Structure 1
């Protein structure tokens, strides 16, 4: 391969810079970078936070205030920052238990501590080889590529390109550590309902954040041919199938549904909405639903408001019993699974030795060219993937 044809991965370690899908050489990282979405921590933070989330879209504060009511219901405090503080501590403890002495740094996309500040502080402390975990399991623009763009922007803002290198662990939607908490939760919920109801009156709804159809179609590498829903839909469906198979309840129906859509009604987003699905199930005579927050790693605002509030209210209105299973949160399976992902890159684990619960994985260490393009904005510089 000539130098001109060699893929270059922006801001990567030498081991990842060639653009190979999987890095099977050990890398001596000197810090872990935990990347979160961020959230307000008081009433005064809510509108500034939402301005950050919607920057560049020209959304007036009056419309933001409509969304702000969700946060204000909980005192203006999103749970996400506290969850990431706890996850950071759990990761540090799990790393120490395996004899790995690496600090876990934490930065957010939309609220303090900001990623740009965290990366700059890392450089000041002499941490120049960072291995990142984004707190999102699936492939799409907002759940993968945007984090990679955030890392690139942080390097650029601090003048750190060429000085600090950032790689990222693979998307972990089908890592057993992420999947097992859902298996446990669904099994327990089904056992409870099945003790009182026949299988045909019980239904499982796997719920995830809706995204625009155009972005869904561009999620994942184009050459995989995932169809209109892209890798985003395919990954969720594959994990849901694994979860249901593990429960041993093939007699109970299930669907993949969506929640938390935003934007103008003229822009098509993935459907069906969970509330519509619950209403339809009631009309079909279903008496109990198990709601599975499959797209979420912890109890984000979308889980607490859109599922625990709105979806539960819909179920009550149509006379259906409903229960929501836990997110992975700090489940030891999940925390240790994240450490497994870090160890893969620290040790250069061969791809055939990496666990994956579905046939879609193990996913890529280095995202493929054109992966998860933003349909509205196009391609912007991103680390941990082959350009564009």
Structure 2
């Protein structure tokens, strides 16, 4: 009998329809519903990008399907079969739902992986904690991938995207070296720095590795999509950075949101609409690298880290 290994593919989640926006953000806000004004603003953002159809959910579904196919491609009869399950932080199926689905299918051994290459105790750490707690309750042995921010193939696929857009700038007549590359990721509260959290350092390491591979010298790291809370968040924000660059007579900017692996709202709205509008006001040319989504190279990265982590499981091959 072929052994089966469950793979819990975790991500932030998104509402399935416009009717689910309020419930989704109530969960994000720890049970506090958004005000009518906040709810309208949120719905307006979704309407602005895709007219009420949410590509993030579709992207995540495709990523889960593609990862399962990649994991089992060329599998020998002696190797375990991988079965992927989805677990979302703020929407159904929740992380706990994904683990329960594994248990119902008789899965006894599993690997958890988050669709985010960089670790923070406030992001990936929370996913893993929830998954392991539920797995223990269900009698499932679960090991989790914490980060993969310097995986050679991840650096390769991201570098390729940067190079393609730099070529596109040159085709418009820009000098390659004049293009400022802005690597970015979702901001987190500043207090993670005092905690010794590796999030910022891992992001800088990924940025440096891509810059080295592409020969980019003109780059810097910035933040985006900070939460609206009373405590300070990591900055500067990309919009503030763009204003500073404009004052320094920078005319060409390439946005490389390496902290995101899908076309999230923070990419499709915060960058493609909000940042682009500012770029127009500043008379600045702004391009963005393509998101990884279900790129085969990214699927190979996930497959590799999942397989390596599965090697730590006590799986019977009988």
TM-score by length of 2: 0.89
Per-residue deviation, 1:98: 3.4
The answer as to whether partners of 1:178 and 1:328 remain within 8 angstroms in 2 is no
Quote the residue 2:72 is aligned against: 96
> What residue number does 1:273 align with?
237
How much has 1:84 moved relative to structure 2? 1.4
Determine which of 213, 216, 223 is the counterpart of 2:190.
Answer: 213
- Whether 1:291 aligns to 2:225 is no
The residue number in structure 2 matching 1:175 is 151
SS of corresponding position for 1:102: strand
1:235 is aligned to 202
Written as runs of structure 1 = structure 2, the 5 A alignment for 1:308-319 is 308-319=272-283
**Contact 1:29 / 1:131 at 8 angstroms: preserved in 2?**
no
1:111 aligns with 2:91: yes
The aligned residue for residue 143 of structure 1 is: 123
Distance 1:216 1:322 in 2: 30
Match of 2:30 in 1: 55
Mapped partners of 1:96, 1:29: distance in 2: 11
Separation in 2 of the partners of 1:29 and 1:134? Answer: 20
2:307 corresponds to: 343
Q: Deviations over 1:21-49 (max 9, x none)?
A: xxxxxxx7621111121111111111111
Larger deviation, residues 166-175 vs 316-325? 166-175
If each structure's helix is expressed as a fraction of its own residues, which one has the higher value? 2
SS in 2 for 1:33: strand
Shift of 1:58: 7.0
For residue 80 of structure 1, report the CA deviation from its aligned partner: 2.1
**1:142, distance to aligned residue in structure 2 (A):** 3.5
Q: 1:260-310 deviations in whole A, cap 9, x for unaligned?
A: 11223x421111111111121112111111100111011111100001111
Matched position secondary structure for 2:123: helix
- Which residues in structure 2 correspond to 1:70-89 (within 5 Å)? 70-73=45-48, 74-89=50-65
- Could you tell me which residue of structure 2 aligns to residue 12 of structure 1? none
Aligned length: 305
CA drift at 1:155:
4.2
Give the TM-score of the pair, scaled to structure 1. Answer: 0.73
Deviation at 1:87, TM superposition (A): 0.8
- Tell me, yes or no, if the aligned pair for 1:46 and 1:71 is still in contact at 8 Å: no
User: Where does structure 2 lack aligned partners over 5 or more consecutive residues?
Assistant: 314-318
* Ranges in structure 1 where 5+ consecutive residues have no aligned partner: 1-27, 223-229, 350-388
Structure 1 residue 179 displacement after superposition: 2.1
Q: Which residue of 2 aligns with 1:246?
A: 213
